[in-house]
């Protein structure tokens, strides 16, 4: 019996938290964005630039290793290469999700 009461209490708390979150979202949508807060396009541009930097560092390390420069270890080259690969895959997935969201919005009935 106490489990049912606990469950009901938990559900009531979750519903009240949901209502509070929805009220905050509505208030945030109505209010103007914070001054100085980065826009989505700025954040996306920064992410793309970071991926580009990661790929450039990886390429530079690989070139330095191939030329036999001292202080460049194969493990550092491989780690940089994997970081560049993972970051590129991540930004590609973000792009895919954005394209899918755009297509979904365009297919909505007006």
The confidence score (pLDDT) of residue 88 equals 94
Q: Which two tokens stand for residue 90?
A: 């991540």
**Residue 101's pLDDT band (cuts 50, 70, 90):** very high
Q: Domain residues for 83?
A: 39-110
Cα gap 10→30, rounded to integer Å: 30
Residues 76 and 27 in one domain: no
Q: Is residue 3 over pLDDT 80?
A: no
Residues 26 and 43 in one domain: no
**Residue 29's pLDDT band (cuts 50, 70, 90):** low
Q: Which residue has the tokens 């191939």?
A: 66
8 A C-beta contact, residue 51 and residue 88: yes
Q: What is the mean pLDDT of residues 23-42?
A: 70
Note the pLDDT tens digit of each residue in 58-91: 999 999 999 988 888 999 999 999 999 999 999 9
Residues 52 and 84 in one domain: yes
The confidence score (pLDDT) of residue 32 equals 56
Residues 70 and 44 in one domain: yes
Q: What is the mean pLDDT of residues 13-33?
A: 69
8 A C-beta contact, residue 72 and residue 64: yes
Residues 53 and 107 in one domain: yes
Cα gap 89→110, rounded to integer Å: 34
8 A C-beta contact, residue 55 and residue 99: no
**Residue 31's pLDDT band (cuts 50, 70, 90):** low
Residues 68 and 25 in one domain: no
Quote the number of domains for the chain: 2
């Amino acid at each position: 019996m106490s489990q049912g009461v606990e469950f009901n209490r938990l559900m009531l708390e979750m519903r009240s938290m949901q209502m509070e979150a929805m009220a905050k979202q509505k208030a945030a949508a109505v209010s103007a964005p914070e001054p100085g807060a980065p826009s989505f396009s700025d954040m996306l541009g920064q992410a793309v630039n970071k991926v580009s930097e990661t790929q450039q560092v990886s390429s530079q390390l690989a070139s330095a290793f191939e030329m036999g420069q001292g202080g460049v270890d194969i493990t550092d080259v491989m780690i940089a290469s994997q970081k560049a690969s993972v970051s590129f895959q991540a930004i590609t997935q973000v792009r895919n999700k954005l394209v899918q969201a755009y297509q979904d919005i365009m297919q909505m009935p007006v």
